[in-house]
Structure 1
Amino acid sequence: MSEPQKSTAEGSPAGRIFDLATLRRLYAFIRPYQGRFYLLVLIIMLAAALAPVTPLLIRYTIDNEIAAGDYKGLSLMLASMVGVLVVQAVMQFSNTYLSGWLGQHVIRDIRVQLYHKILHLRLKFFDNTPIGRLVTRTISDVETLADVFSEGMAAIAGDILQLVLIIGVMFYTDWRLAAISLSMVPLMLISTYIFKEKIKASFNEVRTAVANLNAFVQEHITGMNIVQIFGSEKIEAEKFRAINDEHRKANIRSIWYYSIYFPVADILSAAGTGLVVWYGAREILNSEVTFGTVTAFVMFINLFFRPIRMLADRFNTLQMGIVSTDRILKLLDSDDYTQNNGSYVPEKLRGQVEFENVWFAYNDENWVLRDISFRVNEGETVAFVGATGAGKSSIINLLSRFYDINRGHIRIDGRDLHDYELGALRRNIGVVLQDVFLFSDTIENNITLGDPTISRESMIEAAKLVGVHEFIERLPGGYQYNVMERGATLSVGQRQLISFVRAMVQNPRIIVLDEATSSVDTETEELIQRAIEKLMKGRTAIVIAHRLSTIQKADNIIVVDKGHLVEQGTHEELLQREGAYANLYRMQYKEMA
């Protein structure tokens, strides 16, 4: 099993902080909650405006009330400071709650849109995209956006406003102390810029490592039976250790930068405070500055340097949010989905199927089907046979529009396939695949797939027709029995029978069976064959068969070889021709002999 490939999207450098196009798209998700968003911005702005108030009150209290021994005035000022602290606490609570509330509602909406998009992507997209990367988009990348609202745009605006206000108040109070207080700012800005650039790169490495981990774990847990069958546990463990080491190294690099930056920022802040105390003490002795003013400036320095320290982190949070948003938007904007251009919803399909000069390739280069033409009349059964890779399964994938053809036409009841509304088309085509997938859910939900229009009575009737009702009733809980992930608690034959009921309960006009009996024993196959005869009565059936014994009664048998239709006819006609079908028939019975 191969290691996951790094996509260019994952390894791309982080985008610009103020990518206006991406921010506008992100704001579109905020629009339903713009009232609360603007309230959050207002609260952040007011909190920033209140930041210089407490130092100014303390300065006034020291220089006036305390110096004059006015205990009544001192009590009044203390009450004022308590009032300001209470208001700041309320604003802090409102800020934290509103930003969290907004973030969670927005990421909920984005996840819903993202998952809805994934549900409608073409199967070709999943052929080329590791599932782990889609998990990263839906979970990790979307979660990053929550931080954008709690520590991103509005918080950055509040920090910048606080810095501007504090600088203004400091210079208005005493320009000399203000200049000394800000003497460490150039060094702080340089260290902040270096930190921002380093942490930006490390964050992007962490995101890439997380995506690689998700892709690797998802793929290898899904294929665990292959790993154990071929005894590759040690090899796969080494691969995982290498990928996990990259994740560890990326995180340690970000921790290293944090470990350096914040002590440096604290040292610079302390140096600025020391300079103010040294210069202020000298000016107090010379009666040039009051004690209250120096005290206020010590507080101003803390209020000034704290937002600068936070800005670097907030900018990186916003930047990673922009990167995550960009990745999410690329997926949302992907046109690699089945276009539901049609609007025709038939009252009832007759079930006539026609392929006319159909060409198809999965990668637009190597043709899987070449100039295929055939017709299945209403109520007929047509079977496709041929070697593995001949193109049989591609035919039914095209019929259900899991993939779209490159050239030619496919018609049902004389109408082009693209004229049909996609949901209506697929509801009228019942598909039973060789590789059965069951969800970790009850048997009932695996049959109905949560469709409320399917009654319990019709489900039981379909189960009885297949002959599995009694088997299901014997299970603990009956139809409420949980089959676990991929139907692990059922045998291969039982899973196949459940999938057969799932197709029958939809009452489709066209039945497609893709090697539907190849994975079951003879007794189960006989059970299914009896159910198939009942199900096919009055319906069009398309069967891809491995066992030729199961299709001898088909109205038409088509032999496919390397994307071409090489011959067709009834079982007896094809045997008499002594062609490709006759050779396949003899080879199969020779193997059975």
Structure 2
Amino acid sequence: MPQSVYAETESKHKVEDWSIIKRLWKYVKPYTWLFVLGIILIFASAGLDLVFPYLTKVAIDDYMNADHAYSVETANGEFTITNDPEGAFRLKQLEDGSYVITDGESSYSVSPETLKELRVSDLNGLTKIVIYMLLVLIAMFGAVYLQVYITNYMGQKITHNIRMDLFKHVMKLPMRYFDTTPSGRLSTRIANDTKNLAEFFSSVITSLVKDVVLLVGIVIVMLRMSIYLGTISLFILPLILVSTLVFRYFDRIAYRKVRTRLAIINAFLAEHISGMPVIQIFNQEKRKAREFDNVNKSHYKSLIEQLMVFAIFRPLMDLLYYLAIAAIIWFGAKGILDGRVGFGVVYAFTSYVEMFFRPLRDIAEKYDIVQNALASAEKIYKIMDEPEEIYNEDRPVVTSLRGELEFKNVWFAYDSENYVLKDISFKVNPGEKIAIVGETGAGKTSIISILNGLYKIQKGDIFIDGRSLYDYNLQSLRKKLGLVLQDVFLFSGTVLDNIRLFDSSISKERVHEVVRYIGAERFIKRLPEGYETKILERAGTLSAGERQLIALARAVLYDADILVLDEATANIDTETEAIIQEAMEKLSHKKTVITIAHRLSTIRNTDWILVIHKGELVEKGSHEELIKLGGIYYDLYRLQYELGDIA
């Protein structure tokens, strides 16, 4: 399969399972006492499992099939039967179902009443065995219930913590990481892969421990019951070990493919569902369906490969099981005839062999889950090992800015080679209103990206209020930089939620005050439920202008000292543009305002204008000065005038 653009780059170095488990262990540590309690309950339930076949063996050999000795005394033509360990008589059942006692020469018929008297101790013993069995079953129920509850509780808590840590880490990754990582892949890691770990912690670890304890316990019990049959049973172990090791190797490879290709599907879906309007407008449905079919088939093939591995292993375990049973029956029958073992022992051995293969099958199934979980953990830690953005949290928190801004010989490239900004230098005084213009791709938006510290520059420096941008506590600094983008992102929730970003500590009255200040109240009142109008992700039901007003209200509400509009008026109606222009005029008396402009008619009243061309600052001045200069700005202005964009 050719490398997909949605696929992850696989690590060249194999990550050892134990190194992953060691890293996961730190999430288990806070719940060590629960883990230990779960292990104790596992040992208890495994021990109780081992008791049941042994009680069955005792019932058969000691009571049901017991070979008791009797003595017979005759007097006046009648006989009396008594239990006597030294007696020569034995109880025997005839072909017609009746019973006699015989010493080989003499035989005496035994009536049902006499038989009942002779076997009363056996009946009492069987009654005790049944009571013991019931008590074992009750104890097993209690132990298993507590173990399942405790381990699942522990597993869900651990998974919750891993998912929270992963999401917190993702939010702190530098913006460059998101430029090269599909959002669908991240969604897979946070949702699907952590879910795989939940099953690993909830059931797999404890089940594997129980299975190992059972296997060891079964071997010990079988050897103690009969060295003869126990040794024969253990001859099958080398075949089981070799089969398991081969299965482990191929199953890990198959599961890695499954996880990688599932991430590709999720990344493909996330991108194409977001781009559905473009797909439908340009009639790309059939082509995209074919592309998804290829991606889906690739995932299907990886699942079939994994299924083939398991489809071979499971029947192989069944074959080995029946070989072991056949061996027990054959050698057990010979042992009974030779008097080396009792029938109850053979019966118990068949139960123990069945019990022996049960955890082996369980280990095979759980091993699938283990490989799935370890593959998921490997991918989770691949994200966790990505270096976080440096926020300079040790620096003082920024409470306010004067609004002075200076770029000094700034060079910037997204890929560290192809510079999109070249030796940019300019200075903005507090309270000034400036504009940045230039053709598409000139580097205007890149200036805003580095101003927020989302990307780090390669050369030069950026100063805010006389201090380098990289000497600030970035998280607090960004709160003082208000940004209104051309493509406003709104979250699922209400209009009120999106203005105050779900911060309930900000009162509704404060939100209403800000909305009135920027002149957007009329727009909100027109909505079906006003501030409580529910909107979906990205607010597809709102116009571009309405989204811009919400973003502007958000920036003003958080009291930014430097306000940046990134082509905020490029695709909005005249009425909304007028509202934004009026709001910006009000704000410019208190804040430094930077506007990245597409429509030059909106920036005539700025203090001065920067013209960016191919990543370089080529012109600087007021609207009138740049028109008189007759350079690039004049050409842009004239072109828009001829196209009718300037009234």
TM-score range normalised by the length of the shorter chain: over 0.9
Give the counterpart of 1:83 among 135, 154, 177: 135
- Residues 325-380 of structure 1: CA distance to partner in whole angstroms, max 9, x if unpaired? 22212212211524334522233211111111111111100111111111111100
User: What SS is found at the alignment partner of 1:357?
Assistant: strand
- State the secondary structure of the residue aligned to 1:152: helix
In structure 2, list runs of 5 or more residues that go unmatched: 69-118
Number of the residue aligned with 2:114: none
Q: Distance in 1 between matches of 2:397 and 2:16?
A: 47
Which residue number corresponds to residue 570 of structure 1?
622
Aligned-residue offset at 1:542: 0.8
What's the secondary structure of 1:560's corresponding residue?
strand
Q: C-alpha displacement at 1:12, in angstroms? A: 7.3
Matched, 1:213 2:214: no
1:32 aligned onto 2:30 = yes
Task: Give 3-state SS (helix, strand or coil) of 2:493's partner.
Answer: coil
Q: What does residue 9 of structure 2 align with? A: 8
1:117-266 → structure 2 map (5 Å cutoff): 117-266=169-318
- Superposition pairs for residues 139-538 of structure 1, below 5 Å? 139-341=191-393, 343-538=395-590
* DSSP-derived class of the 1:371 partner: strand
**What CA distance in whole angstroms lies between the structure 2 residues aligned with 1:5 and 1:118?**
18
Moved more, 460-469 or 226-235: 460-469
- One-letter amino acid of the counterpart of residue 42, structure 1: I
Kindly provide the amino acid, as one letter, of the partner of residue 340 in structure 2.
Answer: E
Does the CA contact (< 8 Å) of 2:420 and 2:442 recur in 1? yes
Residue 42 of structure 2 aligns with an amino acid whose one-letter code is I
Alignment of 1:19-98 (within 5 A): 19=18, 21-66=19-64, 67=66, 69=119, 70-98=122-150
**Can you list the C-alpha shifts for 1:481-526, whole angstroms capped at 9, x where unaligned?**
1122211111122122222212121121110000010111222211
Runs of at least 4 residues off by over 6 Å: 11-14
Deviations 1:438-484 (A, max 9, x none): 11211011111112332211211222233322332232221111122
* Closer, same or farther: CA 203–287 of 1 in aligned 2, 3 Å: same
In 1, distance between residues paired with 2:27 and 2:570?
Answer: 49
Distance 1:14 1:239 in 2: 31
AA aligned to 2:32 is Q
Cα gap change, 1:406/1:453 in structure 2, threshold over 3 Å: closer, same or farther? farther
Q: Whose Rg is larger?
A: 2
Give distance in 1, aligned partners of 2:250 and 2:385: 31
CA RMSD, Structure 1 to Structure 2 (Å):
2.0
Shift of the alpha carbon at 1:541? 0.7
CA drift of 1:194 comes to 3.1
- Aligned partners of 2:6 and 2:268 also within 8 Å: no
2: CA distance, partners of 1:326 / 1:125: 18
Query: Higher mean Cα deviation, 216-225 or 117-126?
Result: 117-126
Q: Deviations over 1:270-309 (max 9, x none)?
A: 2211221222122212322111111111111012111122
**How far apart are residue 555 of structure 1 and its match?**
1.2
Q: Is the partner of 2:236 in helix, strand or coil?
A: helix
CA distance in 2: counterparts of 1:519 and 1:380, whole angstroms: 25
Measure, in 1, the Cα distance between the counterparts of 2:571 and 2:336: 93
- Which shows bigger deviation, 552-561 or 58-67? 58-67
Aligned amino acid, residue 631 of structure 2: G
The answer to whether the 8 A contact 2:391-2:473 is kept is no
Shift of 1:13: 9.2
Q: Which moved more, 1:460-469 or 1:370-379?
A: 460-469
Contact map agreement 1:47 1:91 (CA 8 A) in 2: yes
Higher mean alpha-carbon deviation, 315-324 vs 519-528, is at 315-324
Q: Distance in 2 between matches of 1:237 and 1:315?
A: 35
Tell whether the 8 Å contact from 2:184 to 2:268 is kept in structure 1 after alignment.
Answer: yes
Distance in 1, matches of 2:614 and 2:41, equals 68
Check 1:464–1:570 CA distance in 2 against 1; reply closer, same or farther (3 A cut): same
Q: CA deviation at 1:65?
A: 2.7
* Cα distance in 1 between the residues matched to 2:313 and 2:14: 20
SS at match of 2:609: strand
- State the distance in 1 between where 2:361 and 2:286 align: 46
TM-score normalised by length of structure 1 = 0.95
- Counterpart amino acid of 2:632? A
Q: Give the Cα separation in 1 of the matches to 2:361 and 2:232.
A: 19
SS in 2 for 1:51: helix
Q: Is the 8 A contact 1:125 1:336 kept in 2?
A: no
Judge which range, 90-99 or 102-111, deviates more: 90-99
1:543 Cα deviation (Å)? 0.8
Counterpart AA for 2:5: P
How far apart are the structure 2 equivalents of 1:165 and 1:24? 28
Q: CA deviation at 1:14?
A: 7.4
In the TM superposition, residue 188 of structure 1 has moved relative to its aligned partner by 3.0
Tell me how far apart the structure 2 counterparts of residues 443 and 316 of structure 1 sit (CA, whole Å): 46
Cα deviation code 1:370-400 (max 9, x no counterpart): 1111111110011111111111111111111
Q: Report the TM-score, using the length of structure 2 for normalisation.
A: 0.87
Select between 63-72 and 174-183 the one with higher mean Cα deviation.
Answer: 63-72
Unaligned segments of structure 1, at least 5 residues: none
Native 8 Å contact 2:255 2:371 kept in 1: no
Contact 1:361–1:406, Cα closer than 8 Å, also in 2: yes
SS at match of 1:374: strand
Distance 1:372 1:457 in 2: 42
Residues 22 and 486 (structure 1 numbering): CA distance in 2 closer, same or farther, change over 3 Å?
same
Aligned to 1:555: 607
Aligned length: 589
1:15-63 CA distances to partner (integer Å, 9 max, x unpaired)?
A: 544x2x3222101111221111111122222323333222222222222
In the alignment, the residues of structure 2 paired with residue 189 and residue 261 of structure 1 have an alpha-carbon distance, to the nearest angstrom, of 12
